[in-house]
Amino acid sequence: MKVKVKPEIHNHTLDEFDNQNLEPNKVYEVIGLSYDHYRVVNGIGDPILYPKYLFEVVDPSIPKSWKRDEYGPDEYYIDPPELSRPGFYEDYFDGKPEAKEIFRKFLASQEKMRAGLDVGHGAGSTDVTGRCQTENPAGGTGNCTPSTISQKTC
């Protein structure tokens, strides 16, 4: 999934925050999302949750290997399996070496995927609603409900 920062991000028309580490009009790869936030690696290299209203969606596809966790009727988180453990980001920001290493390896795997190398992730993707965008033998794409993103295939 890719999102583009809205051009007016720094003029306080979207919210009262400066959002200094996001660049207007820059496209960021989403590395996790929730019901109201996208997690992106900002300009100083931190994986931060930012409100969705700061962005426009450029590419809605989500890897089908990502895990969806639901915590209430309107509360969900969708993350890569490596980063989906409860407390992962707390450990990361507390500077725990294991979390830092897991995140470093995740970023390296993403870089390899962008370079076109196979790093063992499942084929296909879903869109922001969790519908699969995988090809099926009869042609077209398969469809999943948002909950099937969680460790199931379409």
Report yes or no on 152 lying in a domain: no
Q: What's the number of domains the chain is made of?
A: 1
Domain membership of residue 54 (yes or no) is: yes
Domain residues for 48?
2-145
The answer, yes or no, to whether residue 124 has pLDDT greater than 80, is: no
Whether 125 is in a domain gets the answer yes
> Domain for residue 124, yes or no?
yes
In a domain, 9, yes or no: yes
Q: Would you say residue 107 has pLDDT above 70?
A: yes
Residue 154 lies in a domain: no
CA nearest to 140, candidates 149, 153, 148, 131:
131
Q: Is residue 153 assigned to a domain?
A: no
Note the pLDDT tens digit of each residue in 56-87: 999 999 999 999 999 888 899 999 999 999 99
Least confident of 5-9, 55-59, 82-86, 89-93: 5-9
Q: Is residue 62 part of a domain?
A: yes
Report whether pLDDT(17) > 80. no
